[in-house]
Amino acid sequence: MTVNSLANFGVPGLNGDRAAALQPILSNRFRVLFFNFGATQEPAPYDLTRQIRRIGRPNLRFENVPLYSYVSTVYISTRGEWEELNLVFFDDITNSVMRRVQNQVSKQQNFFCQS
């Protein structure tokens, strides 16, 4: 593309001049990395990162606790607690996402080995 053809892109200004097209807002771009998820002998499951459809943002919540004194009350923040994070995955034809999620569930609820 020549420099002259780049003037055809973008939004025209007040004088009719066109500025370069700006990058869109990055609210829909994200990267999620999973470590030690699923089977233990497999490396980091990068196919889970590619199969995420929607994810919530992590939120940290602090509760205020009253601390009573003789004549007054002071409110202090307690230790922060992470709220739940919701993930929605695409289901692929090889069921690799479902297999990894089932491996993680069996790791977390392994009542036979108590591990």
C-alpha 98/C-alpha 90 separation (Å) is 10
C-alpha 91/C-alpha 73 separation (Å) is 53
Written as six digits, the tokens of 112 are 């036979």
C-alpha 3/C-alpha 8 separation (Å) is 10
Residue 52: partners with Cβ closer than 8 Å, 6 or more residues away: 30, 32, 87, 88, 89, 90
* Each residue's pLDDT tens digit, 66-97: 999 888 999 999 888 999 988 888 877 888 88
Place of tokens 């695409």: 90
How do the domains of the chain map onto residue ranges?
A: 27-57+84-108
**Is the model's pTM score more than 0.85?**
no
C-alpha 44/C-alpha 3 separation (Å) is 43
Residue 6: partners with Cβ closer than 8 Å, 6 or more residues away: 20
Predicted local distance difference test score (pLDDT) of residue 54:
83
* Each residue's pLDDT tens digit, 18-44: 655 555 555 666 677 777 777 767 665
Predicted local distance difference test score (pLDDT) of residue 76:
92
